[in-house]
Amino acid sequence: GLAIFVLASLLAGLSNTMTQLIVFRGIQGIGGGVMMANAFTVIGDLFPPAERGKYQGLISGVFGVSSIIGPTLGGFITDSMSWHWVFFLNIPLGGLLILLFGFFFPNFRPDDLKHHVDYPGVFILLLAVVPAMLALSWGGVEYGWTSAPIISLFALSIAMTAFFIIVENRTQEPIIPLSLFKNRIVVIAEVVIFLTGIGMFGAIIFIPLFFQGVLGATATTSGSFLTPMMLGIVAGSFISGQLLSRAGGHYRLQGAVGIAVMALGMALLHGMSAGTSYASAVTNIIIAGFGLGITMPVYVIAVQNAVPYNVLGAATASTAFFRSLGGSVGLAIFGSVMNNRFAAEFTNGLPATIKALIPPERLDALAHNPQALVSTQAETQLRNFLGETGPQGAAAFAEILKVLRQALNSALAQVFLIAL
């Protein structure tokens, strides 16, 4: 997993086109998926059920700490060097980790059985998930929801899902054993993990955009505003994991509290506006992060302790899969909602006098990509273009930025409402 991630980072950093970057990011995801699944699964192999909670909490806490450092460092590198170096930084770090992992991680083998990898299941699962992701991302943006491409993609996803169920029922070692879903605890936990994945990724991706586009922070500082949220996740994960191990595993109570706190955080995020102070915004994201942190170890441990040991690996990996799937679905839906809402709010909010100054194609570009709010270069280009229109250019520039900011705020409020 580490080796795939490092190699893909090198290729992503060398990308010359968006298509190349997307492909190499996909390969990065494969390496990341291997690492995520194994990191949580190995806890079930190394520690008895009563001890798993505190170690899952620690792993979730480390995940939170790294998520604090990553966005802040990434923003700084992007501002001071270039986006390529965000990927190149992974190479020396990953190489060192591979050495440390080889020397210090226990060579633990739970059994000596010869296992079979369910490659057909992996391939069919991709054919079930990817078309749905594309349909959710493109629907209402690239194509209408009732257009032939969108309907075809959803139809393909449904057909492949049905085929996946048939294949998994006949496979010796399925990638997702369907017998898991006869267990009520597993079903409830997977549903909650999926839904919190939607909220988690929605918040992580769109919170920096709020700070940068609505409140006017730079790329570096907007990334750093994730730090309080991640500290909330770390605190929630650590406390929740310790309570699971030391207080007898009150899954239902801790899970309900975590979801309630996370929902409160999303409600507060929904209520933010351009007039919200940094202090209030930071408080809101801490609350959302703390609630998310409480839930993270709870449901993984609940699944691990509810299944037989022979399916422990597949069951644990399924929790990582459903969290990632929730994040992918959430981003697709949130991205589509944000784009549509932003375009409509910007077009409706712009005075007719300003619309007359800007060519329709440039106006359409602004309505579908608010780069002037997040890119100094794009802002300068817009300012210079409007300056060429005469004395009214400066006033028009200020009005456009104001309408862009209001439209983005309205779109993000809609995103946080759906997350809630």
Q: Shortest CA distance to 417 belongs to which of 208, 230, 196, 202? A: 202
Structure tokens belonging to residue 401: 């930025």
Q: Which residue has the tokens 């375009």?
A: 343
pLDDT in tens, 265-323: 999 999 998 888 888 988 998 998 898 888 888 888 888 888 887 777 778 888 888 88
Residue 248's SS3 state is coil
Q: What is the pLDDT of residue 76?
A: 80
91 has a pLDDT exceeding 70: yes
Give the contacts of 293 (CB within 8 A, at least 6 positions apart).
60, 61, 64, 232, 233, 234, 235, 236, 237, 238, 239, 240, 258
The 3-state DSSP class for residue 273 equals coil
Burial of 219 (0-12, 13-18, 19+ CB in 10 A): buried
State how far Cα 318 lies from the chain centre: 17
- Segment 88-108 shows an average pLDDT of 89
pLDDT classification of 114: cutoffs 50, 70, 90: confident
CA pair distance 53, 64, nearest whole angstrom: 16
The per-residue pLDDT for 219 is 65
pLDDT score recorded for residue 351: 82
pLDDT at 174: 81
Residue-wise pLDDT for 29-81, tens only, equals: 999 988 887 887 788 778 887 777 778 777 777 776 776 677 778 878 887 88
**Residue-wise pLDDT tens digits, 134-156:** 887 787 767 887 889 899 999 99
Given a contact cutoff of 8 angstroms between Cβ atoms, the answer to whether 269 and 285 are in contact is yes
Residues 284 and 272: their CA atoms lie apart, in Å, by 9
Q: Are 419 and 266 in contact (CB under 8 A)?
A: yes
Estimate to the nearest angstrom the gap between the alpha carbon of 278 and the chain centroid.
23
DSSP of 42-102: HHHHHS-HHHHHHHHHHHHHHHHHHHHHHHHHHHHHHHHS-THHHHHTHHHHHHHHHHHHH
Answer yes or no: pTM beyond 0.75.
Answer: no
Q: What percentage of the chain exceeds 70 in pLDDT?
A: 92
Q: How far apart are CA 101 and CA 108, in angstroms?
A: 13
pLDDT of residue 68: 67
Q: Is 258 exposed, middle or buried (0-12, 13-18, 19+ CB in 10 A)?
A: buried
Please give the pLDDT value at position 129.
Answer: 85
pLDDT for residue 112 is more than 70: no
Give percent of the chain with pLDDT exceeding 90.
17
- What ranges make up the beta strands (E) of 91-226? none
Residue type, position 136, single letter: L
* Predicted pLDDT of residue 111: 64
pLDDT tens-digit series, residues 329-347:
888 788 888 888 888 888 8
